[in-house]
């Protein structure tokens, strides 16, 4: 139903944000090491 779609979209956003933060953090760390 509607709320399941909302929850799924929210979870997708959370996962995307976490992935983006992880990638950004790794890139920053890599630059710092070099």
Cα 16 from Cα 11, distance rounded (Å): 9
Torsion of CA 6, 18, 24, 34, to 10 degrees: -160
- pLDDT digit of tens for each residue in the chain (34 aa)? 999 999 999 999 999 999 999 999 999 999 999 8
pTM given for the model: 0.63
């Amino acid at each position: 139903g509607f709320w399941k779609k909302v929850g799924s979209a929210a979870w997708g956003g959370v996962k995307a944000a976490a992935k983006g933060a992880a990638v950004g953090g790794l890139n920053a760390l890599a630059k710092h090491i070099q």
